[in-house]
Amino acid sequence: MADPVPPNGQTAMIGIGEYRVGSFPMMTIGLGSCIGLTLYDDSLKVGAMVHIMLPESAGREDRPGKYADTAIPLLLKELGAHGCKSRSLVAKMAGGACMFEYFGTNLNIGERNAEKVRALLKEHNIPLIKEDVGGKVGRSVTFHPASGGKVNVRRADGTTGVL
């Protein structure tokens, strides 16, 4: 189970491979090639956020939030425990930047992460309604489940956006 609700309306900080579920604000910072994924149920105003580092777990079970192939089923299970139905969920994602362009496209982990998340969401019939991925700039993301699932994106180049 994810950590408890943060005290006094504070924003829950989510590190690499971590996730949270609830109606409180959640934030993950320093997304380079990593993906910040949110799943949100508008009818219950409950959401989940995870900081995914790699596309495949290759059988590792130590930190399921770290890998796209284990994080998404984990979030679905946790949201189900909060009364969410998968057919009510929508997804948003940010991150997936190409941080090491000089290594060539085969090592573009950001692109591979984004592709894997898209494929898994499609497999689970969860619409990806907005995304801010790719490019060469890192991002920090704040998720507000109690405010209609709004996702604020702050890019390392100083620009901002709302998903």
What's the number of CA atoms in the CB half-sphere (13 Å) around residue 154? 9
Phi, psi values for residue 75, rounded to 5°: -65, -40
DSSP category for residue 7? G
Strands 35-41 and 128-133: unpaired
Is residue 34 flagged as an active site residue?
Answer: yes
Residue 90 burial class via C-beta count within 10 angstroms: exposed 0-12, middle 13-18, buried 19 and up = middle
Q: Which of 34, 46, 53, 68 is catalytic?
A: 34
Q: Which residues are catalytic?
A: 34
